[in-house]
Every structure is written in C-alpha cells, then in structure tokens.
Chain A
C-alpha cells in the first residue's frame, strides 16, 4: 500500500498492466489530525452569555415615589472577602440594633440563598395585598448595596441569586454611610 506502482519498464504492445491505485494516506491522516487538534483547542465552544441589567433612571422630583412597605424589604450588603450581610426593614433600625444584621456567605445550601428564599416565603405568607401584588407577584424587594472594596464577581453572584429565587423586584443601590459602618464592624468582628 505504501507505494505507487511504477510502470514496468519496457512496456509492451499497448497492453496496460494493472497498477495498484493505493496511495499511502498515513501522512495525510497525521496532518489532518494535527489540524483537528489545533482547531479543537482554539475553538471556544461555550459562547459568552449576557446578563441583562436595568438601572433605575433618575427619579423625577415632581412625581411622588410609591411607598414601599418595610415588611417586604430585604437589604443585602456585599462586603469584601465574599461576606454578605443582610437585614430586613429600615436601615435606621438595623444601625441601632446590631443583632438585626446577619452575616453569611454565598454558600449554596446555608448561605444568602436560604435567607432570600425564607424571606420570600414570609412575604408570601402575608398574603394580598401586603405580600402579593395585583398580578400575583411576590412583593419581596431586595436592595443590593456593595462597598467599594467588594469585587464585581460577588455582584454577579447576588444577581444570580435573584434569578434563582425568582425575585421580581430588586435594585442595585448606592450604599449609605451607616451601612458602610455596619460592613466595617462585621469585617472587624470576623478578624
């Protein structure tokens, strides 16, 4: 197989001798597999995915903002080192009562996910109109606030948790000074 049969010398009276038509393909196959390997390794199979995000536009001062009931509000504070703090209700109450602020992580079973789902269930239990709006949506409102020293990955993680827990209302808000203090205290305590 590895040879191309040559014409026998002399050649007779126009009587074509049968030749082997086999060509050695080994080198070609080698090359083909080499190229396959190259293209396989350079192709990115998973295309990047996009997470849609909508920021609130600047509020119009002439229009009165709708009031939100404190019972449905949960505030999540993103701290450095993958620590997450959360509290329910008004920020003033949380600042005056340090026990109201709990620290947790992005753990899959016992982390922030459990806290969000528990809060959602509690709001659901309030029933309409307090906990459920006219369209039947759960009214839980999660406010996401991150300190400057936290990382972007954590923000994506918490947005992911919103998708997982199917929270309809959430917003990324600027952090306030008392809340920054809360984060600092929590980080000190962790040390």
Chain B
C-alpha cells in the first residue's frame, strides 16, 4: 500500500525541484524504478531526489494529469484490437489538452508532454496524447495533416510521385 502522505522530490532538467505524492509517482514506471533502485520500499521516503529529464513547465502538466488519474488501475491495461481506437478519450483529458490549443506553442507543448510521458513511462498519458494527435489528423487532407503536425515534406519529387502511385492503387 502506498500512503498519500509519502512524498518524492523530483529534480527537473532545468534545475527545479518538485515534491509529489507517491500516489502519483506510482503511475510512472521510470520514477518507480528509480525509487526501487534506491532500495526504498513502499513505506519509506527516498533519501535523495529523483532526477527526471523533463523541464519544470512540462512536469507541472504531467503532475496535473497524474493528479486527475491518481486512482487509475495499475498496471495500465494492455489494449485489445477493438480498443485501438482514438475516440474514447475521457472528457477531462480532452479538456486538459484543449487548454493548450490556445497557446501559440501548442504543438511544442504536445510534443513535450508526449516525450515526457515516454521518458517517465506513464502509459496512460502516452496513450492519451498519441490518440489526441490521431484525432487531430483524422479525416484531414495531406496538407492539413502537415499543417496540424507542423511537418515538413522531406520527400523528393520522385519519392512523392511513387507514394502517390501506390496510393492511387487503392484510391481507384
């Protein structure tokens, strides 16, 4: 059992320190492993801070998400084939991501949260952010997808023509 009052200090890549409950960090495979490596059991407080390769602003977003999902079941359930869909994002998560839409660097925020979820091994957050991106490009044209994802076409004209030819196979 993890006691809510037990806290872990995390140091961010830009030097900030954040103290969070073990109730939240249990969702992060990376932090849990770091604590285990310190030979600390569930009932003890780690003596030293856990360094995470995530900046302070992004970590705050991650903690906000973890706070909402602190009671989610662990381990994160493996998705079956039927569940490989992107239209089942909980309402709170949708609102959480929509807040970034107003930001100029919305794309950068999403990128930062995805990489943070990957680095910290938070499967639920990673799953949700990838689904959000899938939803954003769902039903869009190639140009719209490039615009949404801020992608630059790195194909040569020949490569592009070849892929179009392959696609035309099906579109016909």
Pairing of A with B? no
Task: Tell me the B residues contacting A by CB distance below 8 Å.
Answer: none
Task: Tell me the A residues contacting B by CB distance below 8 Å.
Answer: none
